[in-house]
Amino acid sequence: MRAALIALLGAGLVLGLGVARGAPEDDRKAFQDFYTERFPDTPFEDFANGLYSIDENRREEWEQMEEFPQYEFDIDAGEELFHEPFANGKGYADCFPDYESGVRQNYPHWDPGRAEVVTMELAINLCREQHGEKPLKYYRGPLAQISAYLAYLSRGNVIDVKVPADDPRALAAYEEGKRHYYSRRGQLNFSCASCHVDAVGRLLRAELVGPALGQVSHFPVFRKTWREITTLHRSYAACSRQLRAASFGPQSREYRNLEFFHTYMSNGIPLNGPGSRH
């Protein structure tokens, strides 16, 4: 009797939450509508170019950068690293059999066996661990280069993140990422949305704030100010610190769930990584 009551209460709660928070598809539609209405001159696919999809002058500068992109060296280095066999004779290709036609569009994804969100970068390290190799550091260096190579092979594939409806844990991870995106944090009491939604297209201390739609499509990114190829979570950390909050670790559960939500919002945008940024 008591158990039945608790179950009933639980079901009511889940239903209530479901109605109040809306399904991922409703979120995605509202999110994308916001940007396409705010920037009616930007074709949908062009949001893949981030900041440069909404600003003419910066776009010209960036197009020059892209003529001789500095990330080319990293793609080559990533290719070499990718094909270097592990000590056990296996290689990355055993973990990513479809790498040639591109695999990045499937990341991040919910892994029911691991009961967590797996990103491209985590998958690379899981592959290493599975074959007895030490994991690589996440922000930069070899892992970012391998990621750049895989991104390059995935160019043109369309982001297609799924939140499996039959696994409430996947929805919970998505919700956690969404909550992170909209929660105000840090001494400035800003959320990601305070800047990338509310202040999009405006100057913030001489920096133009880019749209969140398409923001993930071009990673990893060669950032001129950092002078190296860097992964998405390094940008997350930089923005966390910009709002004067402590950052979470690269590939922390928080950032992976954030990436899950953030990337779902860009479903339908073609991948164009790696990219050059200031």
Partner 1 sequence: MAHRAGAPARGQHRRRIAVSAEAMMTPACRPCRRRMIQVLATAALALGAWGFAPQAGASDEAAFAAAYNAAAEARKAVRKAGFEWRDLRTLLRESKKLGEKGEYEKAVELANQVQRQAELGLMQAAEQESAWETAVLK
- Euclidean distance between CA atoms 264 and 258, whole angstroms: 10
- Taking the alpha carbons at both ends of the chain, their separation in whole angstroms is 63
| Partner whose binding site includes residue 86, from ligand HEC, partner 1, none (CB under 5 to 8 Å by kind) | none
Q: Which is nearer to ligand HEC, 123 or 232 (CB)?
A: 232
| Partner whose binding site includes residue 30, from ligand HEC, partner 1, none (CB under 5 to 8 Å by kind) | partner 1
Residue 127 is among the residues annotated as catalytic for this protein: no
Residue reference for tokens 């800047």: 195
Q: Which is nearer to ligand HEC, 104 or 277 (CB)?
A: 277
DSSP 277: E
Q: 124 with 143: CB under 8 angstroms?
A: yes
Which residue among 69, 91, 141, 186 contacts partner 1 (CB under 8 A)?
Answer: 186
- Euclidean distance between CA atoms 158 and 173, whole angstroms: 22
- In the structure encoding, which two tokens stand for residue 221, read together? 């990114």
3-state secondary structure of 133: coil
Among residues 237, 47, 63, 78, which one has the least CA distance to residue 147? 78
Residue ranges in contact with ligand HEC by CB under 6 A:
50-51, 190, 192, 194-196, 204, 207, 209-210, 215, 221, 232, 235-236, 239-240, 242-243, 258, 277
Q: Which is nearer to partner 1, 33 or 61 (CB)?
A: 33
Q: Binding residues for partner 1, per CB under 8 A?
A: 20-22, 26-27, 30-31, 34, 178-179, 182-187, 189, 191, 193-194, 197, 240-241, 244-248, 254
